[in-house]
């Protein structure tokens, strides 16, 4: 009998098929064993009925452990209550491999415990949903650019020069010559834009920042389009179109996954053009304003209400715990971990709010926005907001200056809504040779390593622009995850290099 995957079961209703997968969950009742089986494409409930099953199948079913590998033959029947609308009635069950004492049990675990077992954690339902959405986003990005005639190109990973400032480079020894893991493919992307007009890179990038925040990885994937003859406005428009496409495709094709994650889809539905575009200077005014202070106060009281509700629920749950049945206890245990984690988060935010408030109120023109400033700015809008024209002093050496105000760089950042922070950074590039030479000197960059880059300004220099989209931050925004660590299969962060 042909083996099929769980995602293709529905057309087989009324037929006998075989599936192969792993035991996600097992529950026994009198004369019945309910198996939830996963095969990577989905989950399906398989029912073994002692009356109908062959004797050895019944024995196997009774002894199955979590994550054991199995092949199951049976009839596919319609059952609207099940995910995917089907269930399997098992006739034969073959054990492929028995898993003993799988460490990640259905009870909830802390995130550090799970991170240590990332190689197994990836089998869980949440991780399944996240990785599938990541895949969906990657495909959307490729389709978006390919449909518009962009050439995908791979920038080198080993480089001799810094792109985004020298402080965050991972240095390596390249046969006796110092070299670095790339922070960004942009400079090589600019080369390719002069040769191929519109290009994009899609590759790993590395940052040695010692910051342990929910938005920082040391290794992350970046998508960097670079376009000849694009000015800042065209660049912003392209960024808008890209983010709209990502959100719409996720809504269209990842609804099951978004539901598994409990993502509020209305937040993604409002991602439509035009986005709000505000200048850095206006963003500073907004941060300083009463409007921002009011938003914070509202947020604070919402959190206090939630805190009280959760504390009530916790007290109630512990009062009923003693009399609860075993299955109910398990559920209460899991809920307790959730409640405590959320209460910790709330306490942390409530402790930070006064700091956020005063940092926003007293933010001075000229500084770079911190994480909390970005969060506050994004709360004012229901869709991504583009902040443009930053002070040149806080931006990279390659940015073009605003012809209307020399203090400003023609840079832009896109902040995701709901406080997910900066997901895109980019801008229009300096195209004047003398200006760029002076910048390289001012930033104390090694001139020789940039000669090839300067050649772009010697031979047919044109206005051009581009940006970098951080894949993991985009995944955390679309999935509604407040930390980037679960958005990549094997996160690399300060203090984590394994598994």
Give the footprint of Mg ion on this chain (CB under 5 A): 425
Please tell me whether residue 422 binds ligand 4AD under the rule CB under 6 A.
Answer: yes
SS3 of 215, please?
Answer: coil
Report d(CA 444, CA 447) in Å as an integer.
Answer: 8
Which of these, 78, 7, 79, lies nearest to 38 by C-alpha position? 7
Q: Exposed, middle or buried, 184 (CB in 10 Å: 0-12/13-18/19+)?
A: buried
Beta bridge partners of 25: 36
Contacts of 260 (CB under 8 A, 6+ apart): 125, 126, 128, 129
Is residue 479 within 8 Å of residue 487, measured between CB atoms? Answer: yes
Closest separation in Å from C-beta 331 to ligand 4AD: 35
Which residue stretch of 8-16, 47-55, 249-257, 470-478 sits at the interface with ligand 4AD (rule: CB under 6 A)? 470-478
Which listed option, ligand 4AD, Mg ion, none, makes contact with residue 472 (CB within 5 to 8 Å by class)? ligand 4AD
Q: Which of 220, 275, 280, 369 binds ligand 4AD (CB under 6 A)?
A: 220
Cα–Cα distances in Å, from 5 out to 13, 35, 82, 188, 274?
14, 16, 16, 42, 41
SS3 90: strand
371-379 and 326-361 helices cross at what angle (nearest 10)?
A: 100
Which residue, 189 or 425, has its beta carbon nearer to Mg ion? Answer: 425
Per partner kind, with CB cut-offs from 5 to 8 A, the member of ligand 4AD, Mg ion, none near residue 70 is none
Peptide bond into 185 cis (omega under 30): no
Give yes or no for residue 184 binding ligand 4AD (CB under 6 A).
yes
Nearer to Mg ion, 21 or 425 (CB): 425
Which residue is listed with tokens 């990657």? 138
CB nearer ligand 4AD, residue 109 or residue 207 = 207
Choose one: 31-39, 136-144, 274-282, 417-425; the region binding ligand 4AD (CB under 6 A): 417-425
By the rule CB under 6 A, 246 interacts with ligand 4AD: no
Cα distances (Å, whole numbers) of residue 340 to 104, 313, 314, 356:
19, 11, 9, 24
71, 18 Cβ separation under 8 angstroms: yes
Instruction: Give the residue with the Cβ less far from ligand 4AD, 67 or 472.
Output: 472
Give the CA count within 13 Å in the CB-facing half-sphere of 397: 25
Q: CB under 5 to 8 A by kind: which of ligand 4AD, Mg ion, none does 163 bind? A: ligand 4AD
6 part of the interface to ligand 4AD, by CB under 6 A: no
What tokens appear for 120 in the block? 């197994």
Q: What is the CA radius of gyration of the chain?
A: 27
In the complex, the smallest distance separating the C-beta of residue 427 from Mg ion, rounded to whole angstroms, is 10
Closest CB 374 distance from ligand 4AD, rounded Å? 10
Should residue 491 be labelled a site residue for ligand 4AD when binding is judged by CB under 6 A?
Answer: no
- Range 344-363, binding ligand 4AD (CB under 6 A): none
Query: Which one among 21, 391, 417, 425 touches ligand 4AD, defined by CB under 6 A?
Result: 425
- H, E, C per residue of 447-483: HHHHHHHHHHHHCCCCCEEEEEEEHHHHHHHHHCCCC
**Total binding residues toward ligand 4AD, as defined by CB under 6 A:** 23
Instruction: Tell me which of Mg ion, ligand 4AD, none is bound by residue 374, counting a contact when its beta carbon lies within the kind-specific cut-off of 5 to 8 angstroms.
Output: none
Which is it for the CA torsion 388, 392, 398, 401, positive or negative? positive
Interface with ligand 4AD, residue 470, by CB under 6 A:
yes
Site for ligand 4AD in 125-164 (CB under 6 A): 163-164
Name the binder of 473 from Mg ion, ligand 4AD, none, CB < 5-8 A by kind: ligand 4AD
Residue 35 or 193: which CB sits closer to ligand 4AD?
193
Q: Cβ of residue 308: shortest distance to ligand 4AD, in angstroms?
A: 35
**Residues with Cβ within 8 Å of residue 84, at least 6 apart in sequence:** 6, 7, 9, 10, 42, 43, 44
Comparing C-alpha atoms, which of 364, 418, 408 is closest to residue 388?
Answer: 408
The residue among 74 and 470 lying less far from Mg ion, judged by its C-beta, is 470
Q: For the CB of residue 219, give the shortest distance to ligand 4AD in the complex, in Å.
A: 8
Q: Which is nearer to ligand 4AD, 19 or 385 (CB)?
A: 385
Q: Which stretch binds ligand 4AD (CB under 6 A): 23-31, 263-271, 356-364, 424-432?
A: 424-432
Residues in touch with ligand 4AD (CB under 6 A): 163-164, 184, 186, 207, 209, 216-217, 220, 222, 224, 422-426, 466-468, 470, 472-473, 484
């Amino acid at each position: 009998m042909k083996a099929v995957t769980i995602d293709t079961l529905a057309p087989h209703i009324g037929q006998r098929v075989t599936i192969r997968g792993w035991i996600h969950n097992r529950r026994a009742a009198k004369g019945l064993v309910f198996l939830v089986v996963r095969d990577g494409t989905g989950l399906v409930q398989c029912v073994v009925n002692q009356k109908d099953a062959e004797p050895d199948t019944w024995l196997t079913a009774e002894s199955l452990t979590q994550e054991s590998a199995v092949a199951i033959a049976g009839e596919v029947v319609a059952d609207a209550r099940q995910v995917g609308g089907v269930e399997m009635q098992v006739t034969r069950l073959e054990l492929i491999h028995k898993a003993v004492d799988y460490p990640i049990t259905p009870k909830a675990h802390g995130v550090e415990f799970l991170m240590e077992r990332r190689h197994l954690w990836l089998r869980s339902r949440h991780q399944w949903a996240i990785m599938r959405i990541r895949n969906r986003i990657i495909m959307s990005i490729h389709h978006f650019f390919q449909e518009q005639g962009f050439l995908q190109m791979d920038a080198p990973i080993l480089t001799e020069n810094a792109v985004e400032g020298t402080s965050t480079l991972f240095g390596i020894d390249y046969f006796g010559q110092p070299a670095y893991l790339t922070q960004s493919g942009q400079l090589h992307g600019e080369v390719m834009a002069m040769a191929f007009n519109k290009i994009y890179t899609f590759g790993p990038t590395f940052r040695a920042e010692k910051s342990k925040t929910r938005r920082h990885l040391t290794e992350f994937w970046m998508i960097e389009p670079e376009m000849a003859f694009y000015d800042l406005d065209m660049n912003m428009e392209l960024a808008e179109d890209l983010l709209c496409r990502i959100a719409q495709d996720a809504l269209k094709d990842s609804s099951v996954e978004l539901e598994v994650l409990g993502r509020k889809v209305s937040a993604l539905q409002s991602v439509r053009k035009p986005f709000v575009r505000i200048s850095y200077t206006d963003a500073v005014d907004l941060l300083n304003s009463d409007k921002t202070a009011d938003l914070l106060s509202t947020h604070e009281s919402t959190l206090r209400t939630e805190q009280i509700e959760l504390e009530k629920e916790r007290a109630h749950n512990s009062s009923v715990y003693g009399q609860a049945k075993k299955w109910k206890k398990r559920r209460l245990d899991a809920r307790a971990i959730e409640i405590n984690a959320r209460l910790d988060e709330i306490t942390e935010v409530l402790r930070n709010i006064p700091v956020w408030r005063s940092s926003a109120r007293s933010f001075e023109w000229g500084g770079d926005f911190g994480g909390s400033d970005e969060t506050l700015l994004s709360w004012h809008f229901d869709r991504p907001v583009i902040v443009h024209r930053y002070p040149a002093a806080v931006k990279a050496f390659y940015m073009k200056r605003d012809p209307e105000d020399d203090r400003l760089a023609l840079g832009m950042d896109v902040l995701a809504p709901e406080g997910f922070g900066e997901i895109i950074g980019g801008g229009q590039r300096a195209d004047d040779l003398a200006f760029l030479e002076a910048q390289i000197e001012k930033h104390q960059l090694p001139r020789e390593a940039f000669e090839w880059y300067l050649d772009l300004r010697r031979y047919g220099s044109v206005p051009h622009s581009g940006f970098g989209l951080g894949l993991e931050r985009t995944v955390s925004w679309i999935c509604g995850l407040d930390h980037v660590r679960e958005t990549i299969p094997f996160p690399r962060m300060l203090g984590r290099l394994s598994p």
